[in-house]
Structure 1
Amino acid sequence: MKIITLMNQKGGVGKTTLALSLAARWHLMGHSVSIVDADPQRSAVFWKKQQAVDSKLAEIDVYSVKLPAEIRGSRNLKSDYVIIDTPGTDKMIVRSALNASDALLIPVQPSSLDVQASAPSVQTALASGKPTVYLVNRYVSQTQLGKDVMHSLQHTPARVLRKAMGQYQAFPRSIGLGETPSTMFSGGAASRNIEAVGQAVDTWLEACHEEG
């Protein structure tokens, strides 16, 4: 079992969208997946409630948690992958997620302000001693801003995932219906992007395992 926490004290960086996208990919590959929704907005729980009973993603379990002890209980789940979607400001919940996790993903949008606002989360993650990586989200390729931010991230203490998640209408359209682009728009640009990012995450997790 691998427990991966998505964290960033900066709100609106797309933690839940990334959590759902990665969960769907791993599930469609044949792995068992659980999502632990620790965010008060309960977006992952809402996603599950919108899902049709015959969805290909129906076997993804989503748990709503409010207490640090419930976060610690993630270790008792029997899934191949457990993804913890954290709030931005609840330090006790985030700390419990850090302690329970095997690896930490920090989504960040491609802007210098977002990178700066994410710095405290990176420091907290690195201080935990857990493998930590930036995952750039809503990246628009071939823009100077995106290139500049990707370059600046290379000089931060955390690693940067070699693939970035782009910005596609397929994300809100599918997630609002309890799906993801991998099921609703299979083979489309967003689906291919999820696969590329997922492969990069897999490679990173394998490297972390070999190093640790």
Structure 2
Amino acid sequence: MHVVALVTQKGGSGKSTLAVGLAVAAMAGGERVALVEADMQGTISKWKERRENPHPRVERVADPAEIEAIISRLRAEGVWLAIIDTAATNNDLAMRAIASADLSLIPARPSPADIEAAVPTLITIRRLNRRFAFILNQTPTRGCRLSEAATSLSSLGVLALPFVGQRNDHQDALGVGLGVTEFAPEGKASDEIIDLWGWVSEHLLVESDSHGQAAIKTAC
């Protein structure tokens, strides 16, 4: 099973919206997907209440010790992908999520405040020696600020592609219990989330393959 965590201490960065969008995009491939909500704000649980489709399943956690148990249970049940949504703080839940994840995604809007707020999360990830990537989220369609933010984040680590624009479809989809790829499948927001999921899945599969190759070499 693959585990992805959305983490950053900055509120309003779009973690929950991205988690939902990526989960629904991943389901389009026929895979079993679960969302793990480690954020007491409950955005994903409220989204789930508005959703008619029973998938993806949503698991809520309040205690850091619960994360490993839930991940183990989802793995045993044959879930292919778990996406953990965390609160806007570097708390114990976020640290456990990072430690459990194959890949942590750090969303940041193209502003100095967001980029500065990503640094403590980055320090935690590096201390735990975990893989990560930044996502430029809620971006304007053009402007020097976007280019400057991309340069700043690239200097700190890997930057996922594409950037995710500030588009109403994301919030409108969340409001009716849908992923943006379900709500407006022909829209630009849908294209960006599909492409972002493609980037994430490619990096997850590359990591899985490298572990498999290492196991083969060890066995030989």
Structure 1 counterpart of 2:198: 199
Alignment of 1:85-104 (within 5 A): 85-89=85-89, 91-104=91-104
Where do 4+ consecutive residues of structure 1 move more than 4 Å? none
Q: Do the aligned partners of 1:34 and 1:62 also contact (CA within 8 Å) in 2?
A: yes
Cα distance in 2 for residues equivalent to 1:153 and 1:211? 26
Cα distance in 2 for residues equivalent to 1:112 and 1:90? 19
Amino acid at match of 1:44: I
Q: Do the aligned partners of 2:5 and 2:101 also contact (CA within 8 Å) in 1?
A: yes
Cα distance in 1 for residues equivalent to 2:203 and 2:100? 19
Structure 2 unaligned segments of length 5 or more: list them: 212-220
1:135 match: secondary structure: strand
Q: Do the aligned partners of 1:9 and 1:121 also contact (CA within 8 Å) in 2?
A: yes
User: What's the Cα RMSD here?
Assistant: 1.4
Q: CA deviation at 1:118?
A: 1.0
Q: CA deviation at 1:142?
A: 2.0
Q: Do the aligned partners of 2:102 and 2:204 also contact (CA within 8 Å) in 1?
A: no
Once the two structures are superposed, residues 69-110 of structure 1 have per-residue CA deviations (whole angstroms, 9 ceiling, x without a partner) of 211112220310000101122621112212222111111111
Cα distance in 1 for residues equivalent to 2:43 and 2:14? 11
1:134 match: secondary structure: strand
Cα distance in 2 for residues equivalent to 1:47 and 1:147? 33
- Give the aligned length: 207
Residue 179 (structure 2) pairs with residue 180 (structure 1): yes
Q: Do the aligned partners of 2:161 and 2:195 also contact (CA within 8 Å) in 1?
A: no
Q: CA deviation at 1:208?
A: 3.2
Amino acid at match of 2:127: A
Q: 1:76 aligns with which of 73, 78, 83?
A: 73
Residue 9 (structure 2) pairs with residue 9 (structure 1): yes
Greater radius of gyration (CA): 2
Q: Do the aligned partners of 1:75 and 1:100 also contact (CA within 8 Å) in 2?
A: no
Cα distance in 2 for residues equivalent to 1:108 and 1:200? 17
Structure 1 counterpart of 2:36: 36
Distance change >3 Å, CA 132–CA 90, structure 1 → 2: closer
Q: Do the aligned partners of 2:8 and 2:118 also contact (CA within 8 Å) in 1?
A: yes
Structure 2 counterpart of 1:25: 25
Cα distance in 1 for residues equivalent to 2:141 and 2:127? 32
Cα distance in 1 for residues equivalent to 2:32 and 2:86? 20
Cα distance in 1 for residues equivalent to 2:67 and 2:32? 19
Structure with the higher helix share, 1 or 2: 2
Q: 1:64 aligns with which of 40, 60, 65?
A: 60
Q: Do the aligned partners of 1:106 and 1:135 also contact (CA within 8 Å) in 2?
A: yes
Cα distance in 2 for residues equivalent to 1:188 and 1:147? 24
